[in-house]
Chain A
Amino acid sequence: MQTTFPRLLMQHAKQRPSAPAMREKEYGIWQTLSWADLAKMVSHMACGLHQMGLQRGDHLIVVGSNRPRLYAAMLATQALGAIPIPLYQDAVGAECVFPINNADVKFCVVEDQEQVDKLLEIREQCPQLAHIFFDDPRGLRKYDEPGLASIDELMAAGEVFHGLHPDFVAEQIELAHPDDVGAMFFTSGTTGNPKGVVHTHRSLLDRAQAGAEFDRLGPNEEVLAYLPPAWIGQNIFSYAQWLCCGYIVNCPESTATVTIDLKEVGPTYYFAPPRVFEGLLTTVMIRMEDAGAFKRKMFHYFMDIARRVGPAKMDGKSVGLIDSLQYALGNLMVFGPLRNNLGMSRVRVAYTAGEAIGPDLFSFYRSIGVNLKQLYGSTETAVFVCLQPDHEARADTVGVPCPGVEIKVADNGEILVKSPGLLKEYYKNPAATAEVLTAEGWYHTSDAGFIDSHGHLKIIDRVKDVGRIKGGANDGAMFAPKYVENKLKFFPQIKEVVAYGDQREKVCVMVNIDFEAVGNWAERRNLPYAGYTDLAQKPEVYGLIQDCVEKVNADLAEDALLAGSQVSRFLVLHKELDADDGELTRTNKVRRGFIAEKYQPLVDALYGGATEQYIETQVKFEDGRTGSVNATLKISDAKTFAPVGKAA
């Protein structure tokens, strides 16, 4: 695209000045900001920043939630040829020190007192930080810090300057080239300092445009901006694509009102990570359980129809007259009102990404008529690498490469991407840049995956975790622990899974049951149990888990590549894996290596062929005391299947 962010803004302001650009709910009313209003706001802010000394190529930090004036600040920065860096509003002060010093930031535009306090607290460590402008003056009246001023003051000064030099902003905007740096995003590295991902106007806008064309987004879309602006996804959905398409971005009243605002706005284009969809579903289910018997019956009756008919309908297949009529009735009685309640009655395109989504959760939304799809991308690729076309959405793939993207699978299974949306570099970090960006322009995603027979990309694991089966019937087959674990975890009865198989002849897993779900299940079957350890070792529970494992095996067998990852043996652990015992990370990811060491006898028994094994484990209680749990665990074999591909 031969354009820049501020040029797009001015174009909209010129062509459709009175069309709404943004809305923000304030004092109970949705207040509209037209493109012309916005252009004026941006011009005044840009003039103000120029007077304060913001230079071309300087960096400016924006911290806060989705507020129109913060988005305007990003545009004003770009209008002057400077580079906005959005930071996470919930990051603590110490986490902001590195980005601020790394990019030598002198200017900050922040939302409110909370953010001002945070920056003042680290000011000693960032001596170059000269100017802090805030949007909401509440509580800041008595602050007397050098360089601290409100956006109102900044804009008032800018307005005077703009009056004297009416062409200044336009000239500045013309100076910019699409290949100039447009914005920078810091990615939270799991180790070491965060890295600044440098994007040009072109890379961001090209991807925004590609995504918009793919889903035919137009100027009439409504979007609710509720995720942190520092996250590239939010930045693409409510900034880059907003300027590309000229649609309307709605800012919620506060973080607590998002669900209410969602219902009021009724977005047509919606994005949420899987956990948001899961949260919404849980709320619906709980409210349905509390509803009257008639309503509950009706809900379940029609949801059965939806599960049967809905996904096929969404995929554009014909489903027969009777089913169609039943679905239409269900739509009138249940699905329509439900969509309305979720704020999704106008959703034309909804995306989820970031982590694997469970097939039940995914098909629930599709079955009630929400066009939920998946996409694949990262900060470094300006989001859009793969997208699922309408009618081709599936829970276990992330879609087809979108226009302009080339994908290659390296020998080690890593996905390599070539796209106009790739990062320019990591800021001041050529070593890290060289690690991920080859001379031929391929970007190393560090995700392992493959293109399936329908041309869809399937992500299976991080490259570093993918292993190989050694010896036995599946010698040399790929082993993707996280893929297997996730597939098992999608069953509500299973809470955690640890899979082993790298450099071994078969795959074995240790399972943690979900105490609530399985306990509930046992009670409904009049199965008495004395506690977690007892319940976990019930033969019935083993049967239940065995069913899950075998379903996963059948599923894995359909993929020639992953058939070797089928689970041969499993056991149900006698205690819940816990971060306090070091078995999980603080973000609840299993620590495979640590667990293997701690439960060495169990791993040996899994591979040694024993049918039971005694184990004694130290546990740490929440109050810091320690105790021990011991049990004799049964070990079960699971049926594996011949790979579908090979049999044919």
Chain B
Amino acid sequence: MSKHIGDVVLDVQNISLRFGGVKALTDISFNVREHEVRAIIGPNGAGKSSMLNCINGVYTPTEGTITFRGQTFDHMDSHQVAAMGIARTFQNLALFKGMSVLDNIMTGRNLRMKSNLFLQALRLGPAEREEIEHREKVERIIDFLEIQAFRKTPVGQLPYGLQKRVDLGRALALEPQVLLLDEPMAGMNVEEKQDMCRFILDVNEEFRTTVVLIEHDMGVVMDISDRVVVLDYGKKIGDGTPDEVRNNEEVIRAYLGTSH
């Protein structure tokens, strides 16, 4: 029954990030093991998204290193990150609202397409063959996420919960080894949250994808994560299994406050 969690794939060492005088992250270290669901939690402004942005190459950390599959970087390049098999979704959605669900997910295949712009524009033989191949992959994702009914619908017309699912679909189209999810359940109702949880767990199990997720909803995090990192004011205050974190004094103080 239990899944096999492997070796460390992503190792973050002593990361600090400063914007002028603002210390967004201070000396953060943690690692992510193959095939686990790893959560990063913390109150508002704790530095969760900044952490993800460092891994993802959007921000360049002021100090520290990130090791991915044995290769150590002092900063990541977002193109290179995607090519290495790390995909992400966005807290505030960054979909092409006017494009259909199908086309949005298809954009996620971009890195895997070999034919050049010229061939693609003229739909010449190799480009067309390639497109059919990619379309098949995309269709499998559509099937997986159960959004067949909205294949041709412009994304802007879909309810928020479904847009989130499309966002996940686009990240999956990259066939990532590591999936970074930035608040995948923010703004959803209970049913949508349950659906999303199921998709995340299914991705983790069926595709053996390693998942790193940021989440506000403690209940959700504790249910689906294998290990949890807790940040507060840019510092790591806890790291461990959901049970360990739940009983961590400092975490309780950060979340609930204590009487002095």
Stretch of A201-209, A249-257, A502-510, A588-596 contacting B (4+ beta carbons < 8 Å): A249-257
Contacts of B202 in A (CB 8 A): 138-139
A142 and B151 contacting across the interface, CB-CB below 8 Å: no
List of 5 A-B pairs having minimum Cβ-Cβ separation, nearest first: A256-B149, A27-B139, A28-B139, A257-B149, A253-B148
Please tell me the size bucket of the interface on A.
10 to 19
A288 to B136 CA separation, bound complex (whole angstroms): 36
Contacts of B151 in A (CB 8 A): 28
Q: A253-B148, A254-B149, A260-B149 are in contact. Are A27 and B206 (CB under 8 A)?
A: no
Q: A139-B202, A142-B205 are in contact. Are A254 and B146 (CB under 8 A)?
A: yes
- Chain B: minimal CB distance from A252 (Å): 9
Tell me whether B140 is interfacial, beta carbon within 8 Å.
Answer: yes
Tell me whether B143 is interfacial, beta carbon within 8 Å.
Answer: yes
The residue of chain B having its C-beta at the shortest distance from the C-beta of A28 within the complex is B139
- Chain A: minimal CB distance from B198 (Å): 8
Tell me which residues from 127 to 144 in chain B have a Cβ below 8 Å from any Cβ of chain A: 135-136, 139-140, 142-144
Q: What 1/0 flags go to B14-36 for Cβ under 8 Å of A?
A: 00000000000000000000000
A25 to B136 CA separation, bound complex (whole angstroms): 13
A142 to B3 CA separation, bound complex (whole angstroms): 9
Tell me whether B256 is interfacial, beta carbon within 8 Å.
Answer: no
A26 and B205 contacting across the interface, CB-CB below 8 Å: no
Contacts of A28 in B (CB 8 A): 135, 139, 142, 148, 151
Tell me whether B1 is interfacial, beta carbon within 8 Å.
Answer: yes
Contacts of B142 in A (CB 8 A): 27-28
The residue of chain B having its C-beta at the shortest distance from the C-beta of A255 within the complex is B149
Contacts of B136 in A (CB 8 A): 27
B148 and A138 contacting across the interface, CB-CB below 8 Å: no
Q: What 1/0 flags go to A218-261 for Cβ under 8 Å of B?
A: 00000000000000000000000000000000000110110010
The residue of chain B having its C-beta at the shortest distance from the C-beta of A142 within the complex is B1
Interface residues of B (CB under 8 A from A): 1, 3, 135-136, 139-140, 142-144, 146, 148-149, 151, 198, 202, 205-206
5 further A-B pairs in the complex, CB-CB below 8 A; given A27-B142, A139-B206, A257-B149: A26-B143, A28-B148, A139-B198, A254-B148, A256-B149
Interface residues of A (CB under 8 A from B): 25-29, 138-139, 141-142, 144, 253-254, 256-257, 260
A247 to B140 CA separation, bound complex (whole angstroms): 29
The residue of chain A having its C-beta at the shortest distance from the C-beta of B136 within the complex is A27
A139 to B204 CA separation, bound complex (whole angstroms): 11
Interface of chain B, main secondary structure:
helix
- Chain A: minimal CB distance from B139 (Å): 4
A138 and B149 contacting across the interface, CB-CB below 8 Å: no
A70 to B41 CA separation, bound complex (whole angstroms): 45
Contacts of A26 in B (CB 8 A): 143
Contacts of A142 in B (CB 8 A): 1, 3, 205
The residue of chain B having its C-beta at the shortest distance from the C-beta of A256 within the complex is B149
- Given A141, A144, A256, which contacts B206 in the complex, CB threshold below 8 Å? A141
The residue of chain B having its C-beta at the shortest distance from the C-beta of A258 within the complex is B149
A142 to B149 CA separation, bound complex (whole angstroms): 29
- Chain B: minimal CB distance from A139 (Å): 6
Contacts of A253 in B (CB 8 A): 148-149
The residue of chain A having its C-beta at the shortest distance from the C-beta of B201 within the complex is A139
- Chain A: minimal CB distance from B103 (Å): 13
A142 to B4 CA separation, bound complex (whole angstroms): 12
Q: A27-B139, A141-B205, A141-B206 are in contact. Are A257 and B148 (CB under 8 A)?
A: yes
Contacts of A257 in B (CB 8 A): 148-149
- Chain B: minimal CB distance from A68 (Å): 16
Contacts of B139 in A (CB 8 A): 27-29
In the assembled complex, 27 residue pairs joining A and B whose CB atoms fall closer than 8 Å, in A order, are A25-B148, A27-B136, A27-B140, A27-B142, A27-B143, A28-B139, A28-B142, A28-B148, A29-B139, A138-B144, A139-B198, A139-B202, A139-B206, A141-B205, A141-B206, A142-B1, A142-B3, A142-B205, A144-B1, A253-B148, A253-B149, A256-B146, A256-B148, A256-B149, A257-B148, A257-B149, A260-B149
Contacts of B206 in A (CB 8 A): 138-139, 141
Contacts of B1 in A (CB 8 A): 142, 144
The residue of chain A having its C-beta at the shortest distance from the C-beta of B142 within the complex is A28
Contacts of A139 in B (CB 8 A): 198, 202, 205-206
- Chain B: minimal CB distance from A44 (Å): 25
Contacts of A27 in B (CB 8 A): 136, 139-140, 142-143
- Chain B: minimal CB distance from A632 (Å): 45
Contacts of B198 in A (CB 8 A): 139
- Chain A: minimal CB distance from B109 (Å): 15
- Chain A: minimal CB distance from B48 (Å): 29
- Chain B: minimal CB distance from A523 (Å): 30
